[in-house]
């Protein structure tokens, strides 16, 4: 009876007063990830992009050609443009239009298409969300030879009305904000390199607009400016590779929209197709990418058959995209993105439009440039032949591995559980580390796959050679998903794939080789958040009966100072030097260990770095290493 009364009381208590309305920007602070994707490093930088995207909208409307961004020493950031400035006149609500735009969701000039035909900040929640997630924001608008200002604190609450602060010349908008550490608990510090990658893209996508990034913390400054747009962009992307021909470029208008495409093949084997919609990097692709891929395959096949350039073989999508770098930039009035962070385009009609435009433009280009067309067809034909050879190599390996239990690699020490969410595959190098790992693991949910030495550098190898490598095939077989167009996430055998290598130079090299393999052949695994790197300790500090593990030289110094005296310090040069109990406690026990999740934060930059570090061109690699040397962790 008591239980019945409890339920009745609960029903009675749940009345109209229980339905809470989140006013103004309160909803954003309650569920920030809904608006910016996360409250980690990605979400922090997304705040900057929301403000800069508004300046880019002004540029695309023809009113802005200069954007200055400054990172201050106090972790605030200032974004200034020379656009028209935010309107400050009285709005229908009775408040200044600037206050309405910066404190109300879905309030902005992006909806009626009179102020902006094309816009990246489509949802009208951009800067108001930035305001909501800042402990302080100062907005200034330069209009009518005056600067108008309003200050907001504690999540977007105005400190007073919009007021005139001084006279000025010109027009524009200045936004300064301090991210709220209560929201961004991991970090509130902006990463110069992350911002650099995005602003470089924006400069290429908006020729004639100068973007300047300045960092007051380290006294650094970089200017971004492009005159040739996508033509310069694709040359920059291919700068670490040997290009086969001059870039193919075309730009077409359709139905109040514009599509720009740049294509250039190189001598390598990896593809890179980068899509942008209203300058937003659609890292998850979408209908514009699908249309480009379909047209490219069709045009190359048709041209080859028409000119009798291929015998008894047709090129497939994978063949066409081998060694391809392509950029497609779309500017459309009503893009349908998936989520506020805009990572995938969903407009169904766009696939047909892009397919038709690319087919016509590329066919015309091939007819007018037969020498380039011939090089491209020969490249694709060679890829098709190599694909067939690789298929035969895979079949041969499958027949060999089928002899082991369940078709799995013989060296794999599998786990007993088949529950995806709890299982883990540790990839280790060498018999010593494998021995420790197999003894240390929990056999219920942890599997161990040893590799023999350093795997093949897939950045320099053809698919035929890649799939002839026993170590690589064993690894792909253990993971279970397949690669390329046959990739199927439903066949994934382990919830986590964890790279566990030594902390020395060789271990770092092996880790890089494995990450290159994952990025080039199973990038979907990274995108799904399934690839991790185990963080092994460098030292064990023992004082009395207590042992402490530390993971860097800096941490070692601090720990010794804290402990005092002269504790016993043991340096681990490799995983094999740890006994199984130590390896379990520090690196494999889910309750104690640290794992780094591998993410493709920026596909353009990731492709560039892998090509640079693992490719044939020495110059760009040397330049990268020299410029990042101070940031490296030294192995002493």
Helix or strand (DSSP H, E) at 280: strand 280-281
Q: What was the pLDDT predicted at 634?
A: 30
Q: Is 429 a catalytic residue?
A: yes
Per-residue pLDDT band at 537 (split at 50, 70, 90): confident
- Among 55-59, 390-394, 584-588, 622-626, the least confident range: 622-626
- Residue 115: which residues within 8 A CB-CB, separation 6 or more? 61, 109
Q: What was the pLDDT predicted at 18?
A: 40
**Above 60 in pLDDT, residue 358?**
yes
Q: Active site residue: 385, 504, 527, 553, which one? A: 504
Residue 589, SS3 per DSSP? coil
Considering only residues 471 and 386, tell me which one the structure prediction assigns the higher pLDDT: 471
Q: Active site residue: 191, 232, 506, 553, which one? A: 506
Number of other residues whose CB lies within 10 A of the CB of residue 223: 12
Q: Is 504 a catalytic residue?
A: yes
- Please state, for a pLDDT cut of 90, what percent of the chain lies above it: 48
Burial class of residue 251, CB neighbours in 10 A (0-12, 13-18, 19+): middle
Q: What was the pLDDT predicted at 464?
A: 78
- Residue 435: which residues within 8 A CB-CB, separation 6 or more? 576
How far apart CA 36 and CA 240 sit, in angstroms, is: 33
- Ranked by mean pLDDT, the top range of 121-130, 338-347, 353-362 is 353-362
Tally of CA atoms within 13 A in the half-sphere of 553 that contains its CB: 5
Interval 132-157: pLDDT, tens:
999 999 999 999 999 999 999 999 99
Average pLDDT over residues 21-40: 80
Per-residue pLDDT band at 440 (split at 50, 70, 90): very high
Q: Active site residue: 271, 319, 355, 429, which one? A: 429
How far apart CA 145 and CA 134 sit, in angstroms, is: 29
Q: What was the pLDDT predicted at 153?
A: 95
Looking at 228-369, list the stretches that DSSP marks H as alpha helix, in order from N- to C-terminal side. Answer: 230-237, 287-306, 317-320, 348-368
Q: What is the pTM of this model?
A: 0.70
Q: What was the pLDDT predicted at 396?
A: 54
How far apart CA 572 and CA 161 sit, in angstroms, is: 61
- Among 92-101, 157-166, 274-283, 381-390, the least confident range: 381-390
Looking at 72-114, list the stretches that DSSP marks H as alpha helix, in order from N- to C-terminal side. Answer: 97-103
**Above 60 in pLDDT, residue 619?**
no
Q: Mean of the per-residue pLDDT values for the chain?
A: 84
Burial class of residue 155, CB neighbours in 10 A (0-12, 13-18, 19+): buried
Q: What was the pLDDT predicted at 19?
A: 39
Burial class of residue 305, CB neighbours in 10 A (0-12, 13-18, 19+): exposed
Interval 593-611: pLDDT, tens:
889 888 876 556 667 666 6
Instruction: Answer for the pair 213, 52: CB distance below 8 angstroms, yes or no.
Output: no
**Above 70 in pLDDT, residue 194?**
yes
Question: Residues of 187-220 as b/e, b for ≥16 C-beta within 10 angstroms?
Answer: ebebebebbbbbbbbbbbbbeebbbbbbbeeeee
- Residue 14: which residues within 8 A CB-CB, separation 6 or more? none
- Please state, for a pLDDT cut of 70, what percent of the chain lies above it: 84
How far apart CA 322 and CA 376 sit, in angstroms, is: 10
Q: Is 502 a catalytic residue?
A: yes
Structure tokens at 327: 């950029």
Q: What was the pLDDT predicted at 470?
A: 84
Instruction: Answer for the pair 325, 265: CB distance below 8 angstroms, yes or no.
Output: yes
Q: Nearest 5°: phi and psi at 70? A: -130, 125
Q: Active site residue: 50, 355, 502, 607, which one? A: 502
Q: Is 506 a catalytic residue?
A: yes
């Amino acid at each position: 009876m008591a239980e019945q009364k409890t339920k009745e009381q609960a029903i009675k208590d749940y009345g109209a007063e229980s339905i809470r309305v989140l006013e103004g920007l309160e909803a954003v602070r309650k569920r920030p990830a809904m608006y910016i994707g996360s409250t980690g490093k990605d979400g922090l930088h997304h705040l900057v992009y929301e403000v800069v995207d508004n300046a880019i909208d002004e540029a695309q409307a023809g009113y802005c050609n200069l954007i200055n961004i400054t990172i201050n020493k106090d972790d605030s950031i200032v974004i200034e443009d020379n656009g028209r400035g935010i309107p400050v006149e009285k709005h229908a609500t009775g408040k200044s239009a600037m206050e309405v735009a910066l404190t109300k969701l879905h309030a902005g000039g992006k909806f009626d298409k009179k102020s902006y035909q094309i816009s990246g900040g489509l949802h009208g929640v951009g800067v108001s969300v930035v305001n909501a997630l800042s402990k302080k924001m100062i907005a200034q608008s330069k209009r009518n030879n005056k600067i108008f200002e309003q200050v907001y604190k504690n999540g977007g609450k105005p400190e007073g009305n919009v007021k005139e602060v001084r006279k000025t010349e010109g027009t524009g908008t200045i936004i300064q904000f301090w991210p709220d550490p209560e929201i961004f608990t991991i970090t509130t510090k902006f990463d110069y390199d992350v911002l650099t990658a995005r602003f470089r893209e924006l400069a290429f996508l908006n020729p004639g607009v100068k973007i300047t990034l300045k960092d007051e913390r380290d006294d650094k400054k970089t200017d971004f400016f492009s005159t040739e747009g996508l033509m310069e962009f694709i040359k920059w992307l291919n700068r670490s590779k040997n290009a086969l021909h001059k870039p193919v470029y075309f730009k077409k208008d359709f139905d109040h929209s514009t599509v720009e495409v740049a294509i250039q093949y190189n001598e390598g084997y990896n593809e890179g197709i980068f899509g942008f919609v209203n300058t937003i990097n659609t890292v998850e692709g979408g209908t514009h990418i699908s249309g480009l891929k379909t047209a490219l395959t069709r045009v190359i096949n048709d041209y080859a058959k028409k000119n009798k350039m291929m015998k008894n073989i047709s090129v497939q999508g994978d063949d066409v995209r081998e060694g391809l770098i392509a950029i497609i930039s779309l500017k459309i009035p009503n893009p349908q993105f998936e989520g506020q962070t805009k990572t995938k385009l969903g407009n169904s009609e766009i696939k047909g439009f892009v397919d038709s435009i690319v087919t016509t433009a590329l066919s015309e280009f091939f007819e007018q440039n037969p020498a380039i067309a011939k090089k491209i067809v020969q490249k694709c034909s060679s890829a098709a032949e190599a694909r067939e050879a690789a298929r035969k190599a895979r079949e041969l390996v499958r027949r060999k591995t089928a002899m082991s239990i369940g078709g799995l690699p013989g060296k794999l020490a599998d786990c007993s559980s088949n529950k995806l969410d709890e299982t883990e595959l540790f990839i280790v190098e060498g018999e010593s580390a494998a021995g420790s790992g197999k003894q240390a693991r929990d056999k219920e949910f942890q599997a161990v796959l040893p590799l023999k030495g350093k795997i093949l550098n897939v950045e320099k190898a053809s698919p035929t050679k890649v799939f002839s490598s026993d170590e690589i095939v064993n690894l792909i077989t253990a993971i279970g998903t397949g690669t390329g167009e046959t990739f199927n996430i439903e066949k994934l055998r382990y919830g986590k794939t964890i790279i566990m290598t030594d902390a020395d130079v060789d271990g770092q090299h092996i880790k890089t080789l494995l990450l290159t393999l994952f990025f080039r052949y199973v990038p979907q695994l990274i995108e799904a958040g399934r690839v991790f790197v185990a963080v092994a300790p460098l030292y064990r500090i023992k004082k009395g009966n207590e042992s402490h593990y530390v993971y860097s030289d800096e941490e070692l110094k601090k720990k010794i100072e804290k402990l005092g005296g002269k504790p016993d310090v043991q340096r681990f040069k490799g995983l094999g030097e740890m006994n199984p109990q130590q390896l379990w406690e520090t690196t494999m026990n889910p309750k104690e260990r640290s794992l780094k999740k591998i993410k493709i934060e920026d596909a353009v930059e990731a492709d560039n770095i892998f090509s640079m570090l693992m490719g044939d061109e020495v110059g760009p690699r040397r330049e990268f290493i020299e410029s990042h040397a101070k940031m490296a962790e030294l192995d002493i």
